[in-house]
Amino acid sequence: MEAILTAAKLSLWVSASATLLIALVGIVLAYFLARRNFRGKHLLDALISIPLVLPPTVVGYTLVVLFGREGWIGAPLYRLTGWSFVFTWQGAALAAFVVALPLMVRVSRAAIEAVDQDLINTSTVLGKSEWETVFKVVLPLARGGIMAGVLLAFARALGEFGATLMIAGNIPGKTSTLPLSIYSAFQGGDDALAQTLAIILTVISGTVIYLAGKWTSSRWI
Amino acid sequence: MDIVLSVQFKKAFAGGFSMDVSWQAAREIVVLFGPSGAGKSLTFQVIAGLVRPDEGHIQLGDKVFHDARAGIELPPQSRDIGYLFQHYALFPHMTTRENVLYGHRQPRSSEAAADFAAMLTRFHLEGLEQRYPAALSGGQRQRVALARALMRKPRVLLLDEPLSAVDLSVRRSIRNELRNLQRVLDIPMVIITHDLGEALALADRLVIYDHGRVVQSGTPDAIVQDPQNEIIAAWAGNTRLHGERTFSF
């Protein structure tokens, strides 16, 4: 029972942390991709989206190459702070972030693009700066899609397995999230535990996905 | 004639469409008339600063909006124009009150509250303050949009097809209201329409657009008497089109 609770709490914590970061970064990326033209826009779009199509092992491997103790970013970080993403819950959150970010960006970008250009132009002609227009017109009207994006990203983060295993490992109580605990229980022959964990994960994720669908049918669009 | 708004610009768009227009407006109603795709709405967007022309000079009173040679391009936020989009572009997530106050420079000031009260009376919007646009009729939406545009005390009013989204039965009264409004505000009011009847009924001066060019401009009378455009010639029953060319149905 305690193993279940530990894994569930860890899963929620890792996913919530990743989702918070995804929400902040994702809205900014979605806005710039939806409303601005700049050099390298399609490249940035592809870079964000590529974890959607790559196997999790490739994402995990790339994360180790970048953030591992010997990694391009990881090595200087380790030298400076003595800390590394490897085998930590932050590593699990990083994997969830990279894998779930494209869902947030795609869904909220579509919602931001769907805001009527006449409304944005009207706000501009009425003397409002771009940022005032963003906060008073664009984001409130894209609210449904943005919420749906956040929830989808959260659901994807909850289900993250492969990349997490590669960068954060499978340490009970530390990085063994629900999907990893299911794998351990199954490998260890504890079918009852695997089943219980699978049901819990399905119920949580199912609820989140259901809410995401409901939010998409926003009342303003 | 005391010119208040003067518009002259050229602009080439991707896809081959190009514009080259020039006209002026005094404190009067000027109607831009022409088929859709002639560049009327684009002209508004250029005046508003939403689309930048390739060259030209646009000036309102002593304020230069755009001058390609002098490198002047005033941002849309500082142009002091009232702009009504075709479908009014009311913010769907704001009530009448929030929509109208959005147009004010200091929405939280006591001055804004007084201005808002005055707008409610002027546009017969009492009792609709807390309604969302979805719960308003076409005519009510238009009045909310007008009130919002006037909150900034604009020095010119641009109305894109103001009558297309209201019932035929109220068009005549709205026409009168618009004429009235122009007299009270005493600023240039530029109206886009592709309905010739509306154009002739509203205009002090008519500017005829076709394919991104101004074909003719003048008072409705002058234009009907010597039409240089086939649509107007046909409407006026005038078979002589611009000198010797003969027009036939």
Instruction: Provide, as residue numbers in chain A, all residues whose Cβ is less than 8 Å from the Cβ of B85.
Output: 118, 121-122
Q: How far is the C-alpha of A177 from the C-alpha of B234, rounded, in Å?
A: 78
Q: How far is the C-alpha of B43 from the C-alpha of B103, rounded, in Å?
A: 22
With CB atoms and an 8 Å threshold, state whether B81 touches A123.
Answer: no
What confidence tier does B246 reach under pLDDT thresholds 50, 70, 90? Answer: very low
What confidence tier does B226 reach under pLDDT thresholds 50, 70, 90? Answer: confident
Cα A58 to chain centroid distance, Å, stands at 17
Question: What's residue A103's pLDDT?
Answer: 96
- Per-residue pLDDT, averaged over B108-134, amounts to 94
| Between A100 and B235, residue with greater pLDDT | A100
Instruction: Provide, as residue numbers in chain A, all residues whose Cβ is less than 8 Å from the Cβ of B45.
Output: 121
Contact residues for B190 (Cβ-Cβ < 8 A; gap 6+) = B5, B25, B29, B30, B31, B32, B44, B47, B156, B157, B158, B159
Local structure of residue A219 (DSSP, 8 states): S
CB A166 within 8 A of CB A128: no
Residue found under tokens 């005038």: B238
Strand ranges for chain B from DSSP E:
5-12, 18-25, 29-33, 55-60, 63-67, 72-73, 81-84, 156-160, 189-193, 205-210, 213-218
Cα B197 to chain centroid distance, Å, stands at 17
ipTM for this model: 0.89
Question: What's residue A217's pLDDT?
Answer: 66
* Closest CA–CA distance from residue A87 to any residue of chain B (Å): 46
Alpha helices (H) in B25-89, listed in sequence order = 40-48
- Per-residue pLDDT, averaged over B80-101, amounts to 95
With CB atoms and an 8 Å threshold, state whether A125 touches B105.
Answer: no
CB B19 within 8 A of CB B56: no
Chain A residue with the nearest C-alpha to that of B153? A126
* Axis-axis angle for helices A2-35, A143-158 (nearest 10): 140
Residue found under tokens 């002091």: B80
**Residue from B42, B83, B153 to probe the interface with A (highest A Cβ count within 10 Å):** B83
pLDDT tens for residues B139-180?
899 999 999 999 999 999 999 999 887 788 888 888 899 999
pLDDT at B249 over 70: no
Question: What's residue B63's pLDDT?
Answer: 93
Question: What's residue A83's pLDDT?
Answer: 94
pLDDT tens for residues B12-47?
998 999 999 999 999 999 999 998 889 999 999 999
* Closest CA–CA distance from residue B82 to any residue of chain A (Å): 8
Q: Which of A125, A137, A220 sits opposite B76 (nearest CB)?
A: A125
Residue found under tokens 């800390």: A83
pLDDT at B105 over 80: yes
Question: What's residue B245's pLDDT?
Answer: 44
Model confidence, pTM: 0.88
**Residue from A37, A116, A120, A122 to probe the interface with B (highest B Cβ count within 10 Å):** A122
- Per-residue pLDDT, averaged over B81-108, amounts to 94
Taking only residues 10 to 49 of chain B, the set having a beta carbon closer than 8 angstroms to any beta carbon of chain A reads: 45, 48
Cα dist from A58 to A53, A61, B43, whole Å? 10, 5, 53
Alpha helices (H) in chain A, listed in sequence order = 2-35, 41-49, 56-67, 74-81, 89-113, 117-125, 130-133, 139-141, 143-158, 162-168, 178-187, 191-216
CB A201 within 8 A of CB A179: yes
Neighbours of B23 (CB within 10 A): 19
Q: How far is the C-alpha of B23 from the C-alpha of B218, rounded, in Å?
A: 10
CB B82 within 8 A of CB B150: yes
Question: What's residue B170's pLDDT?
Answer: 82
Q: How far is the C-alpha of B5 from the C-alpha of B82, rounded, in Å?
A: 13
Positions of chain A with pLDDT lower than 70, given as ranges: 217-221
* Closest CA–CA distance from residue A111 to any residue of chain B (Å): 15
Contact residues for B176 (Cβ-Cβ < 8 A; gap 6+) = none
Question: What's residue B81's pLDDT?
Answer: 95
pLDDT at B6 over 90: yes
Chain B residue with the nearest C-alpha to that of A120? B89
Parallel, antiparallel or unpaired: strands B205-210 and B5-12 = unpaired
Instruction: Provide, as residue numbers in chain B, all residues whose Cβ is less than 8 Å from the Cβ of A126.
Output: 102-103, 148-149, 152
CB A96 within 8 A of CB A164: yes
A181 touches chain B (CB under 8 A): no
CB A202 within 8 A of CB A158: no
A57 touches chain B (CB under 8 A): no
Neighbours of B164 (CB within 10 A): 15
Q: How far is the C-alpha of B148 from the C-alpha of B145, rounded, in Å?
A: 5
pLDDT at B193 over 60: yes
B89 touches chain A (CB under 8 A): yes
